[in-house]
Structure 1
Amino acid sequence: MRNAHYWILGLLLLHAAAKIELAMGRTPICRCGTIRLWQNEVLSPENSQQIADWYTLSHIVHGLIFYAALAWAAPRAALGLRALIAFAVEIAWEVTENTDWAIARYREATIALGYHGDSVLNSVSDMLTTLLGFWLAARLPVWASVVLALGLEALALAVIRDNLTLNLLMLLYPLQSILNWQAAP
């Protein structure tokens, strides 16, 4: 396949995901009616509603991880195909993450008490940010990708007391001690 075909398929997947999320009742943009590039406050009704927020960092990490996993699992596959697979996995994650079941789980097990799901704008941005992580991993030496992933995880942990690692842990095996620490002022 040519690179243009991967781009076209990726755009079709992105379009389908946005339509699915709209059909699931996700709002196109923040209910506040404004569009911002960055939402700094995690415990805000605009978190996961704007283009980017602190959880955007975890989607860069997704891209780094997907690149590494696919480089290992399918080293002879074209880079465009691996990027499309990573994008499809991220799209599946985002759509699943915005189901009523997953939203309820986030509210139950994490600090996201008032979470109502991502806006479609935020979700699409998260999907595209994963491609940024994948792109970076394709160009950086392995050690730099590892340092970047660890650095992004450490930054989010230091600033918002949450990151991809804790998010997954709390979804799969919630620990009250971590929840207490995350909720502390």
Structure 2
Amino acid sequence: MTWFDRLPRRAYLLIGLGLIAATAAILLAMGRVPICTCGTVKLWTSDVLSSDNSQHIADWYTPSHIIHGFLFFGLLWLVARRLPVKARAIIAILVECAWEIAENSPVIIDRYREATIALGYTGDSVINSVSDISFMLLGFFFASRAPLWLTVAIAIFFELFTGWLIRDNLALNILMLVHPLDSVRAWQGGA
């Protein structure tokens, strides 16, 4: 039995909440807005090309964050399966928090603007980033309990559905950040 196993569930909860709160504080210090500058908080926003995108609780990129949770669970099961699920969840939160901070840095925001269809992207609101982390955690815990085939089927469905509906998804997002293709950008723009 390791010290990870002896930590009470409450300790993991406090560590996770602390990481999320620290991320929110860092994002605020970076100049991110707490909520949409429109002054409202919406549960859902559907217009990918509007200034509301990435400013509210959920949007068409929410499935990507759920898939992050699926992937983090799978990877951590492969490399750290001896750790309790709660400890692996903390690692997943840490990685997602780091991504939310990086994603809202000027370097990544500029990269999104130049390499993807997100021409007017200004970064996420803090509430959107915290929601993204929460949706990742939802995906992580779903993957920890669901059969592998179901998790994979849902991930494929999310990717195909958002790819069809908004011409973007997690795979395309990664591709366009790492190695942008003019043909993909043209297709995403509706050409």
Shift of 1:3: 1.2
Map 1:106-121; keep pairs closer than 5 Å: 106-121=112-127
Name 1:13's counterpart in structure 2.
19
Map 1:39-78; keep pairs closer than 5 Å: 39-78=45-84
Secondary structure (helix, strand or coil) at the match of 2:160 reads helix
Shift of 1:34: 0.8
Structure 1 counterpart of 2:105, from 84, 88, 99: 99
Secondary structure (helix, strand or coil) at the match of 1:7 reads helix
For the aligned residues, what is the CA RMSD? 0.7
Name 1:160's counterpart in structure 2.
166
Q: Which runs of 4+ in 1 moved over 3 A?
A: none
* TM-score of the superposed pair, with normalisation by structure 1: 0.99
1:131 aligns with 2:151: no
Shift of 1:82: 0.4
- Corresponding residue pairs, total: 185
Counterpart amino acid of residue 179 in structure 1:
R
1:142 aligns with 2:163: no
1:1-55 CA distance string (max 9 Å, x none): 1111111001111110000000101000001111100000000000000100000
* TM-score of the superposed pair, with normalisation by structure 2: 0.96
Secondary structure (helix, strand or coil) at the match of 1:179 reads helix
Map 1:79-90; keep pairs closer than 5 Å: 79-90=85-96
Shift of 1:61: 0.2
Alignment gaps of 5+ in structure 2: 1-6
Counterpart amino acid of residue 162 in structure 1:
D
C-alpha distance in 2 between matches for 1:104 and 1:76: 40
Name 2:3's counterpart in structure 1.
none
Name 1:22's counterpart in structure 2.
28
Shift of 1:89: 0.4
C-alpha distance in 2 between matches for 1:121 and 1:54: 15
Alignment gaps of 5+ in structure 1: none
